[in-house]
């Protein structure tokens, strides 16, 4: 009976001893964790479990621009139309997304959204662009300003008829002759005086010396028994020449032989001076010679 009681008392004390050892072991582990025995038995603690290595991050996929660039012509044109609706594009709707104008327009749209301005679209960006254009308000077309009627051009003045042109030319010629007439008539009358003086002197005087052709003409008529009557001058031309004022005048002579009267004509040409310069006399039908003399003198007519 005593033996049973002693065994029972020992059994009751055993948990307390174990408890005391466990507390000491805990203290020892706290002071020296490396020497701590697992389970309070003094055995080495098991190694910590291995931490799995981190999984390497996968590189981000490159943006897909090829899909939109290779999309159908209708889809590409739709993108250009959307850019035009958003006031980003004003070029032709031709489906060319690689054109300079289209690339710039896409870049401007991307820049406005604070995304990289690359000038190319991914499929999601293309969808967003088209959706944004669909939501854009329809712009009201401004009525063009009223156009003022263009002034009716004045009809060009009617061209004068030939008769009117002839009258105008004659009036102009009359004005020129009116201004030159006093000097021209004075030159012609001075020559008439010299011619009459030569005839009165029976072939002597300045007229014959200056106009040898007249002197010969007078001698021929005198030899034929003709006498000279009236002399009537008519101005053929008058104007400025390179050596001074030039005059050409027709002199119509009345010659008589017995009871027969003849009319003869000579053209005298000269440059005013004392004595006369470059004097010449021609028959009235020798028009070419008279005109050549005018050309040689560089005559600028104030008469014709």
Asked if 252 and 265 count as a contact pair (C-beta separation under 8 A), the reply is yes
Structure letter (DSSP) for residue 55: P
Q: Which two tokens stand for residue 121?
A: 């679209």
- Give pLDDT, residue 35: 56
- Give pLDDT, residue 60: 73
Cβ neighbours, 10 Å, residue 125 = 21
Which are the contacts of 99, defined by CB distance < 8 A and separation ≥ 6?
A: 91
Query: What domains, with CATH codes, occur in the chain?
Result: 67-134 (no CATH), 172-301 (3.10.450)
- As a whole number of angstroms, the distance between CA 246 and CA 257 comes to 35
- As a whole number of angstroms, the distance between CA 236 and CA 175 comes to 16
Q: Comparing C-alpha atoms, which of 199, 198, 201, 188 is closest to residue 232?
A: 188
CA angle 128, 132, 138 (to 5 degrees): 160
- Give pLDDT, residue 195: 95
Burial 266-297 (b: 16+ CB within 10 A, else e): bbbbbbbeeebebbbbbeeeeeeebeebbeeb
Q: Comparing C-alpha atoms, which of 60, 102, 53 is closest to residue 77?
A: 102
Count of alpha carbons within 13 angstroms of residue 204, beta-carbon side: 2
Mean pLDDT by runs of 10 across the 304 residues of the chain is 44 45 56 54 55 66 90 93 92 92 92 89 91 78 60 74 82 86 94 95 94 95 92 94 94 92 94 95 94 95 89
Cβ neighbours, 10 Å, residue 88 = 20
Asked if 284 and 271 count as a contact pair (C-beta separation under 8 A), the reply is no
- Give pLDDT, residue 57: 64
Q: Which two tokens stand for residue 96?
A: 């060319």
- Give pLDDT, residue 2: 47
- Give pLDDT, residue 153: 74
């Amino acid at each position: 009976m005593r033996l049973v009681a002693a065994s029972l008392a020992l059994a009751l004390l055993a948990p307390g001893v174990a408890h005391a050892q466990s507390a000491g072991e805990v203290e020892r582990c706290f002071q020296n964790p490396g020497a701590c025995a697992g389970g309070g038995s003094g055995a080495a603690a098991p190694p910590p479990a291995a931490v799995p290595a981190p999984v390497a991050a996968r590189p981000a996929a490159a943006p897909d621009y090829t899909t939109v660039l290779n999309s159908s012509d209708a889809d590409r044109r739709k993108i250009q139309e959307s850019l035009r609706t958003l006031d980003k594009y004003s070029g032709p709707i031709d489906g060319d997304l690689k054109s300079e104008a289209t690339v710039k327009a896409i870049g401007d749209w991307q820049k406005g959204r604070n995304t990289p301005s690359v000038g190319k679209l991914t499929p999601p960006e293309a969808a967003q662009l088209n959706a944004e254009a669909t939501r854009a308000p329809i712009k009201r077309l401004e009525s063009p300003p009223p156009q003022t009627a263009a002034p009716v051009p004045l009809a060009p003045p009617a061209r004068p008829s030939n008769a009117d042109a002839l009258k105008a030319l004659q009036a102009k010629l009359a004005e020129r002759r009116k201004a030159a007439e006093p000097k021209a008539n004075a030159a012609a009358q001075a020559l008439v005086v010299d011619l009459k003086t030569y005839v009165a002197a029976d072939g002597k005087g300045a007229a014959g010396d200056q106009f040898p052709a007249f002197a010969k003409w007078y001698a021929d008529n005198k030899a034929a028994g003709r006498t000279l009557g009236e002399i009537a001058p008519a101005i053929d031309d008058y104007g400025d020449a390179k050596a001074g004022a030039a005059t050409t005048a027709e002199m119509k002579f009345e010659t008589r032989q017995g009871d027969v009267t003849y009319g003869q004509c000579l053209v005298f040409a000269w440059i005013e001076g004392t004595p006369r310069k470059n004097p010449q006399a021609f028959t009235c039908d020798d028009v070419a010679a008279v005109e050549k003399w005018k050309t040689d003198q560089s005559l600028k007519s104030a008469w014709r």
